[in-house]
Amino acid sequence: MALRVALRNKSALPGLLSQLSSCSHGRVCASSVFVAQQRSNSTSPKMTVDFDQSTGVAVMRMKSPPVNSLSLDFLTEFCISLEKLEMDKSCRGLIITSTLPKVFSAGLDIMELCGTSPERCGELWKAVQEMWLKLYSSNMVTIAAVNGSSPGGGCLMALSCDYRIMADNPRYTIGLNETSLGIVAAFWFKETMSNTVGHRTTEMALALGLLYNPNEALKTGLVDQIVPEDKLMTTAEQAMAKWLAIPDHARQITKSMMRKQIIDKLTAKREADIQNFVGFITKDSIQKSLRVYLEMLKKRKASKKTAP
């Protein structure tokens, strides 16, 4: 079986052959081949992906301290990892989580937005678009195991998954808080949220830049489940099993039916959307707002340090 999988997936062959030749008793060692094919692990600087072939489920763990912010490097690695899993037909499900103690993802890298050139700013936004297009349209079942705060683009990442489970810690927050930075969520951010929680809740949330604690997020439908932190991954695995019990083709066509319209809209307007973002972010007034926001973060950090 493992050999058949490896023969279909030619890229796995070199690994398999080295496993075969490393058997100490000189015969084909079926059990080591089996183990070699059951799990694969890939690590890049900002994330680790564990794929368990026996369940068809991969776990992507983001590990870019201090806050898993969406920098150009981070987004590039994220998209490459996602693409690899998408191309492997034996991978049917993906759980996304963070290795950092209190943060799932802090959203767009604000440092990269400050004083950036229009070219770099355009590249960054193109990568954010790419992340969303890939994740929102993924054929895999995608589950966000939100184990920390998740503002802005971090919330978008979670919203782009099929299902969201959040660790029940009142210090964690999630939401599209762009207006509190003096910026405006893109139309596809807005529509991803309103497809999830409805128009009125989205209108209030975006206008006020609301960040919800887990209880509030559950009440508004921004997340589907909240669980104690130590139960997060097992709950995600259980939810995944439920989703994977549905035949792939039926689930995938349904997902496409629900999401295609907005995906097509961004695909048709990608370049205009990039120009709009670059024009907006590079304005002096917006740059000033971003710097003020960064200062506020620094002050908040300093006051936490001095608090008794």
For the segment 39-68, give every residue that binds ligand CO8 (CB under 6 A): 66-67
- Residue least distant from ligand CO8 (Cβ): 152
CB of 71 to ligand CO8, least distance (A): 8
- Residue 108 a catalytic site member: yes
- Residue 148 phi/psi, 5-degree rounding, is 170, -175
Residue 108 sits in the site that holds ligand CO8 (CB under 6 A): yes
Residue 183 sits in the site that holds ligand CO8 (CB under 6 A): yes
- Residue 177 a catalytic site member: yes
Residue 181 sits in the site that holds ligand CO8 (CB under 6 A): yes
Q: Tell me which amino acid residue 85 is.
A: L
CB of 156 to ligand CO8, least distance (A): 7
The one catalytic residue in 108, 113, 176, 211 is: 108
Contact region with ligand CO8 (CB under 6 A), list: 26-34, 49-57, 86-94, 144-152: 144-152
Report in angstroms the alpha-carbon separations of 177 from 2, 96, 206, 207. 47, 21, 7, 9
Residue 110 sits in the site that holds ligand CO8 (CB under 6 A): yes
SS3 state of residue 235: helix
**Cα dihedral 129, 130, 135, 136 sign:** positive
Cross-strand bridge partners of residue 48: 43, 61
Burial of residue 1 (number of CB atoms within 10 Å: 0-12, 13-18, 19+):
exposed
- Residue 290 phi/psi, 5-degree rounding, is -65, -40
Return d(Cα 157, Cα 46) in angstroms, integer: 16
Interface characters, 184-223, with ligand CO8 (x: CB under 6 A):
xxx-------------------------------------
Catalytic residues: 108, 153, 177-178
- Provide the binding-site residues for ligand CO8, judged by CB under 6 A: 66-67, 69, 102-103, 106-111, 149, 151-153, 177-178, 181, 183-186, 277, 280, 297-298, 301
